[in-house]
Amino acid sequence: MLTQLASTARLLLSRLSVSLQASRVLSLIRPLDRLARLGFSPAPPTRSLVRFPRPIPTLSAIMPSKTVTLPTGHTLAVNGFGTWKSEPGKVGAAVKKALEIGYRHIDCAAIYMNEAEVGAVFAEMFGGDNPAVKREDVWITSKVWTSCGSKKEVVAACRQSLSDLKLDYLDEYLVHWPANWEHQGLPITETTMGTGPDGKLRWSKTNTLQSKWEGMEECHRLGLTKTIGVSNYSALLLMDLLSYAKIPPAINQIEAHVNNQRAELRSVCTDNNIHVTMYSVLGSGKEGPLQDPTVKAIAKAHGVSPGAICIAWALSTGCSVLAKSVTPSRVEENFKADEIDLTADEVKQLEALERGLLVCNMNEYWGFPAHA
Ligand SMILES: NC(=O)c1ccc[n+]([C@@H]2O[C@H](COP(=O)([O-])OP(=O)(O)OC[C@H]3O[C@@H](n4cnc5c(N)ncnc54)[C@H](OP(=O)(O)O)[C@@H]3O)[C@@H](O)[C@H]2O)c1
């Protein structure tokens, strides 16, 4: 009798434990359902569940970052962290903070001239027997600068970024701009970026966008990067690239925010299996999305900052998103923006803010109408 009672109790307890585990699993999967409704292709639940094997206790409840799966089959966190204009001496601390609170997508570039400082943080966070963050859990991008345009120059530039970032491989290597300037050696500095002593651009007489892409394909073949893609490519340039690419671009990283939504270009990318990453979603420190009264009103209704609403809108498009900050409180609020559920009416109000505003106007930096 006693044995029978004990075995019934054991059976009940095991059922209870299974149902508790099941409800925990369901609570983790539910955000993915929401993601699917928004048009993302979430990674299989098993991958999401193992994304943060060692939660870091600085934030009470780190949600697994939402992900998107590229046509190549690679999965990346959609809410990404930028490093442009992050000053030396500040960028390392900002990237460390971003990784600590849960960012798993970091955007770098040789021309930001801060990859070595970011690399020191990667070495610290990914190093040792019990790393704070596993390298394979983070999606890391770098970009080849416009002064490297031959196959050999692109491969050398990629190796330079890997060395500076202290990595064995990149997840994504991008053509930074569809342009070729004179090659002046590596690393990329103020004096080797392809301009003359007068600051004027020196256009390459030999390199083409095709030779640059051959270099990108070589980087992929050599295993230096998991995926290759482009940045700042127009619809016409993408079609041209697709005519000769042996490995098609996986990604086009472009300026996009509520005041310049790039809906037509995004649609061309989608039709051609090219994932879009939006940059400068906060307006890049210029007058724009953050000052918009509609953005402010929606932010107030949700009890969050205008920046968080800009990121939430960008994520609602199905794109991955880059926002930069060196301010710890903003790094946190920007990361948590992917928990915001915008209503259909709010999305409609934000879509109505389109006005073709260009915040990264290269004419200001290069004195050349790159967007003409
Ligand atoms: N492929 C390309 O050609 C390209 C071009 C541009 C950008 N990008 C990438 O995209 C990333 C993001 O773009 P971005 O740096 O141009 O601009 P952004 O992220 O749109 O804006 C950054 C600016 O917004 C401020 N900020 C950040 N969070 C805020 C918040 N919650 N509330 C108010 N202000 C906030 C930052 O100040 P603090 O830092 O002082 O907090 C900084 O001044 C870049 O860092 C880079 O990685 C790529």
**Per-position DSSP letters for 225-293, written without gaps between them:** EEEEEEES--HHHHHHHHHH-SS--SEEEEE-BTTB--HHHHHHHHHTT-EEEEE-TT-TTSSSGGG-H
C-beta of 327 in contact with ligand 1 (< 6 A): yes
Per-residue pLDDT band for 372 (boundaries 50, 70, 90) equals confident
The pLDDT value recorded for residue 10 is 46
CB crowding 151-180: b at 16 or more within 10 Å, else e: bebbbbbbebbbebbbbebbbbbbbbbbbb
Q: Bigger pLDDT: 257 or 39?
A: 257
The pLDDT value recorded for residue 258 is 98
Nearest residue to 56 (alpha-carbon basis) of 116, 104, 107:
104
User: What global pTM score does this model have?
Assistant: 0.85
Closest ligand 1 atom to the C-alpha of 327? 41
Per-residue pLDDT band for 38 (boundaries 50, 70, 90) equals very low
Q: How remote is the CA of residue 62 from the centroid of ligand 1, in Å? A: 22
Residues with catalytic roles: 112
The pLDDT value recorded for residue 64 is 56
Upper half-sphere CA count for residue 357 (Cβ side, 13 Å): 18
Q: Bigger pLDDT: 68 or 30?
A: 68
C-beta of 284 in contact with ligand 1 (< 6 A): yes
Architecture of domain 30-366: Alpha-Beta Barrel (3.20)
- What are the sequence ranges of the domains in the chain? 30-366
Report pLDDT digits (tens) over 100-158.
Answer: 999 999 999 999 999 999 999 999 999 999 999 999 999 999 999 999 999 999 999 99
Report pLDDT digits (tens) over 275-298.
Answer: 999 999 999 999 999 999 999 999
Residue 254 has pLDDT above 90, yes or no: yes
Report pLDDT digits (tens) over 162-204.
Answer: 999 999 999 999 999 999 999 999 999 999 999 999 999 999 9
Strand duo 320-324 + 275-279: pairing: parallel
Phi, psi of 86 (to 5 degrees): -90, 115
Amino acid at 242: L
Rounding to the nearest 10 degrees, give the CA dihedral for residues 133, 134, 137, 141. 80
Do residues 234 and 266 lie in contact, with contact meaning Cβ atoms separated by under 8 Å? no
Q: How remote is the CA of residue 329 from the centroid of ligand 1, in Å? A: 14
The pLDDT value recorded for residue 273 is 97
Per-residue pLDDT band for 159 (boundaries 50, 70, 90) equals very high
The pLDDT value recorded for residue 164 is 98
Report pLDDT digits (tens) over 67-105.
Answer: 999 999 999 999 999 999 999 999 999 999 999 999 999
Q: What is the mean pLDDT of the chain?
A: 86
C-beta of 106 in contact with ligand 1 (< 6 A): no
Residues 6+ apart with CB under 8 A from 324: 81, 82, 83, 84, 85, 86, 282
Q: Which residue minimizes the CA distance to atom 38 of ligand 1? A: 325
Radius of gyration in angstroms for the set of CA atoms belonging to the chain, rounded to a whole number: 22
Phi, psi of 275 (to 5 degrees): -75, 145
Question: What is the spatial distance between Cα 200 and Cα 83, in angstroms, rounded to a whole number?
Answer: 25
Per-residue pLDDT band for 51 (boundaries 50, 70, 90) equals very low
